[in-house]
Amino acid sequence: MPTSGSSPSDDTATPERPDSDAQLPHSSARRESRSAGKAPSINPDLQARPRSAAWPVDRYVEGIRAGDRVTLSRAITLVESTQPRHRTMAQDVIGACLPFAGDSQRIAITGIPGVGKSTFLEALGTRLAEDGRKIAVLTVDPSSERSKGSILGDKTRMGALANHPNAYIRPSPTSGSLGGVARKTRETIVLCEAAGYRTLFVETVGVGQSEITVHSMVDVFVLLALAGAGDELQGIKRGIMEMADLIAITKADGDNARAAEQAGQAYERALRLFPPTDSGWEPRVLTCSAMTGEGIDTVWDTIQAYLTHIKANDHFAEQRRAQARYWMHQRIEQRLTQDFFEHPAVQSHLSNIEEEVLEGTLTSFAAAERLLQLYLDR
């Protein structure tokens, strides 16, 4: 299965290994890994792929503009890379693609785990692709706190859509990012738009009330909910509910159809407790079934009605500008944090100061101030 990585490749990244390891027999390579403190591979037949030569920025841009999926995938992996040597090139590729981006519909699909986000997206996405729309689905999988890897299985769960020529599905790991999206989801949106995908879905990781970061990068926020899961009571809380432009009760089929209708009524009552939205839109509550297809078209029609509404009153453009400003500030914070921990003085003193904190001889606040002073005195 694909796992998260940091170096560009055709579709998913392969962890870099020393060139000498590739020449060792399997048993020797495993012994070498153990002696270096690395966990041995679970696949003794795994061979390191040779590193491909770096591409120039123009080659990335030309391939993306031509709609080449391999180039798009390599560019996304480049952007997701954590290696400093990839940072400048990634920004150059994004900058060159930016003039060709923006003319799209960005739609977030969010909800608790098990609500059926991937199933819903396959049902809706397949219909749109069959109608001739070029759609991109950016899915986010949680990263393990222990191994730091991700299963990235959403593409497998959307097999029919993944094989459609008008659809592109890209799974990405959270890599420690909060808010239900990956660290570079917004940059990935720009690349997909430049490749000609005009309908973009962002399927979040499914973490619940904190899943709000995605709201700052999309035009439409669709919340999927289940009947009988206790979500109806969450309607009285601030957070993810008040951000929803549309709530769809999924799995409204068979014996669950009546319960879904009742859940919809509960959500409608809960939404009346919220103040008017900035867009002037009154959020709708619908029911649907990805299994039977019932209500899927109505959900899409409602999404289009909302987009027509916010474009007519200029909320669409205002929201896009506010999002651009927000991500500028976010990028500054991320870059400063990265620069701080990469500073030589911070790196040389960090472990000792951490040890003092662990031993209780130094408070966390005093430790932070000491490290910040080292950084500022450079």
Q: Is a pLDDT exceeding 80 seen at residue 176?
A: no
Every domain range in the chain assigned CATH 1.10.287: 322-376
Count of other CB atoms within 10 angstroms of residue 378: 8
What digits encode the pLDDT tens for the residues 324-344?
A: 999 899 889 988 998 999 999
pLDDT of residue 223: 92
- Tell me how far apart the alpha carbons of residues 98 and 81 are, in angstroms, rounded to a whole number: 19
- For the beta carbon of residue 36, count every other beta carbon within 10 angstroms: 9
The reported pLDDT for the residue numbered 290 is 94
Residues of the chain with pLDDT > 90: what percent?
54
Of the chain, the percentage scoring pLDDT greater than 70 comes to: 74
Residue 227's identity, in one-letter code, is A
**Torsion (CA) 72, 76, 78, 84 in degrees, nearest 10:** 150
Mean pLDDT over 19-36 rounds to: 42
308 against 86, higher pLDDT: 308
How many Å apart are CA 125 and CA 159, to the nearest integer?
12
pLDDT band at 128 (very low <50, low <70, confident <90, very high): very high
pLDDT tens track for 233-265:
554 455 778 889 999 999 999 999 999 999 999
Q: Which CATH architecture has domain 105-138+148-170+196-315?
A: 3-Layer(aba) Sandwich (3.40)
Give the pLDDT band of residue 148 (cuts 50, 70, 90): very low
Q: How confident is the model at residue 15 (pLDDT cuts 50, 70, 90)?
A: very low
- Helix (H), strand (E) at residue 168: strand 167-173
Q: How many CB atoms lie within 10 A of CB 309?
A: 16
Question: Which of 106-115, 166-175, 328-337, 344-353 is predicted least confidently?
Answer: 166-175
Does 33 have pLDDT greater than 60?
Answer: no
pLDDT in tens, 356-366: 999 999 999 99
Give the angle 116-120-125 at the CA atoms, nearest 5°: 150
The pLDDT score that the predictor gives to residue 21 is: 39
Residues 129 and 373: their CA atoms lie apart, in Å, by: 55
182 CB-near residues (< 8 Å, 6+ apart): 80, 138, 140, 172, 173, 174, 175, 188
State the pLDDT confidence band at 140, using cuts at 50, 70 and 90: confident
pLDDT band for position 183 (cuts 50, 70, 90): low
Residue with more model confidence, 275 or 124: 124
Output the pLDDT for position 214: 81
The CATH class for the domain spanning 322-376 reads mainly alpha
Look-up of token digits 């950084």: 375
pLDDT of residue 13: 41
pLDDT at 308: 98
Q: What are phi and psi of 106, to 5 degrees?
A: -105, 120
Looking at residue 240, its pLDDT comes to 78
For the chain, where do the domains classified as CATH 3.40.50.300 start and end? Answer: 105-138+148-170+196-315
Rounded to an integer, the average pLDDT of 17-24 is 39
pLDDT digit string (tens) for 188-226? Answer: 999 999 999 999 999 886 655 445 678 888 999 999 998
Q: Of residues 49 and 18, which shows the higher confidence score?
A: 49
pLDDT score for 358: 96
Full-model pTM: 0.78
- Average pLDDT across the chain, whole number: 81
Q: Which of 79-83, 150-154, 270-274 has the lowest mean pLDDT?
A: 150-154
Q: Which DSSP string corresponds to 248-317? A: EE----GGGHHHHHHHHHHHHHHHTTSPPPTT----EEEE--TTT-TTHHHHHHHHHHHHHHHHHTTHHH
